[in-house]
Amino acid sequence: MKVSILLKQHVGGTCIPIIKENEVVKKGQLIAIPDGLGANIHSSVYGKVASIEKDRIIIQLDDNQSDEYIKIKDNDNYLELIKEAGIVGAGGAGFPTHVKLNVDLNGGCVIANAAECEPTLNHNIEMIKKSSEYVIKGLKYVMKITNAQSGYIAIKPKHKDAVKVLLNACKNEENIEVKYLPNMYPAGDERVIVREILGVLLKPGQLPVEANTVISNVETLKNIVLAIEERKPVITKDITVGGRLTEAKKGKVFLDVPIGISAKYFIKKCGGYVEPHGEIVIGGPFTGRHGEEDSPIMKTTGGVLVSMPFPNTHKKVGVLACECGAQEERLKEIASKMGAEVVVTAKCKRMKEVNGRFRCDKPGVCPGQAETVIYLKKHGAEAILTGSCEG
């Protein structure tokens, strides 16, 4: 068996390999370093480097895989440990955590993002139920690093068991509180969290730090705790596997899987496909991208989902995109897989251009789309393909 460790698993540039082909590597060993903005990459297995490609390092696994790993270098500075461990936003954003946390919040607050917003994905909630201490400890470390006074855990009330566990876990914590998000998508969007938890409206393009806040996904907090307390680099990921799979139709959670394992491994683990099946999606149903059986798990991978086959239509379609759902490119890709012709495109009317990128004015406060649908129809659309959250 081989693992395929991508050299770009984060916001920033592609990492530079620091090992050679045929070299024997140990689990936890540093194998690639950033070139500018980025994060260290470590081997997730014991094995031998089979090849080094432009975008990945392929490692042939040894038969014996011990749980032991090479620890990151000791350091009294938490931010340095986080940097050394190669931690990036595990919720999907992939921004290097040591850069994000290098702020002084002047007594502001840190919010643990436990929204687990995308349908089907459930690994964050399962992790909380199993190991809520990671969330509490992680919050405390981040509060210390950023000079924050309060910590909040943002979660949807529908996750009753996880809420109960969290309420119990922080009952003796003076500065940490559980706060509720609306049961909607995209409640996990950072600006939605700031709006719902703090009552502060951030403009499109503004970051939570402008409200003296840092938001960290709960799995990122877990990785921070593991780096600080166990000197563990990021070599595993929590994921949900689901969709048209015999034993995982509603989603099955796998915690701590080695980074670099292929989607195919999990498809087999879940009993194989339910036929007929459509494409493999890496990520959640809303924001995931097309994947292949050999797509490897990355530091930001949340899901391996198998869709239904796309309906075959030769219609002329209009594409209606939203910031928080599938983007125009992805919708066009889906249209082409349906055999449809895209004749017109539009964006949700709340989307505004900020620094060359379209962003939603008020995520989750979604308008009706009737006007835009009429526009698309007027321009020849016989059917509409949309990634908009509501409306």
Min dist. Cβ of residue 368 to ligand SF4 (A): 10
Which range of residues in 149-157, 158-166, 221-229, 347-355 is near ligand SF4 by CB under 6 A?
A: 347-355
- Return the closest-CA partner of residue 363 out of 121, 127, 146, 194: 194
Task: Tell me which of 30, 334, 348, 376 binds ligand SF4, using CB under 6 A.
Answer: 348
| Phi-psi region at 233: left, alpha or beta (left = phi > 0; alpha = psi -120 to 50) | beta
Cβ distance to ligand SF4 smaller for residue 40 or 327: 327
Phi, psi of 26 (to 5 degrees): -110, 155
Q: What's the rounded Cα separation, in Å, for the pair 181 and 185?
A: 10
Question: Which residues are CB-neighbours of 320 under 8 A, at least 6 positions away?
Answer: 331, 345, 346, 347, 348, 369, 372, 373, 376, 384, 385, 386, 387, 388
| Token pair belonging to 241 | 């596997």
Min dist. Cβ of residue 322 to ligand SF4 (A): 3
Binding flag, residue 260, ligand SF4 (CB under 6 A): no
Residue appearing with tokens 């921004």: 95
Task: Tell me which of 5, 227, 245, 366 binds ligand SF4, using CB under 6 A.
Answer: 366
Min dist. Cβ of residue 386 to ligand SF4 (A): 9
Cβ distance to ligand SF4 smaller for residue 117 or 389: 389
Helix (H) / strand (E) containing 172: none
Task: Tell me which of 338, 363, 372, 384 binds ligand SF4, using CB under 6 A.
Answer: 363
Judged by CB under 6 A, the number of residues near ligand SF4 is 16
Cβ distance to ligand SF4 smaller for residue 158 or 362: 362
Binding flag, residue 390, ligand SF4 (CB under 6 A): yes
**Binders of ligand SF4 in range 279-338 (CB under 6 A):** 322-324
**Binders of ligand SF4 in range 164-193 (CB under 6 A):** 186
Which range of residues in 110-118, 126-134, 283-291, 360-368 is near ligand SF4 by CB under 6 A?
A: 360-368
Q: Which amino acid is at 160?
A: K
Task: Tell me which of 364, 376, 384, 385 binds ligand SF4, using CB under 6 A.
Answer: 364
Q: Is 337 exposed, middle or buried (0-12, 13-18, 19+ CB in 10 A)?
A: middle
Binding flag, residue 115, ligand SF4 (CB under 6 A): no
Cβ distance to ligand SF4 smaller for residue 188 or 363: 363
Which range of residues in 19-27, 65-73, 141-149, 343-351 is near ligand SF4 by CB under 6 A?
A: 343-351
Phi, psi of 32 (to 5 degrees): -155, 145
For the chain, the 3-state helix, strand and coil shares in percent, each to the nearest 5, are: 25, 25, 50
Q: What's the rounded Cα separation, in Å, for the pair 90 and 237?
A: 8
Binding flag, residue 389, ligand SF4 (CB under 6 A): yes
Instruction: For residue 93, count other CB atoms closer than 10 A to its CB.
Output: 15
Cβ distance to ligand SF4 smaller for residue 117 or 197: 117
Contacts to ligand SF4 by CB under 6 A: 186, 322-324, 348, 350-351, 360, 362-364, 366, 388-391
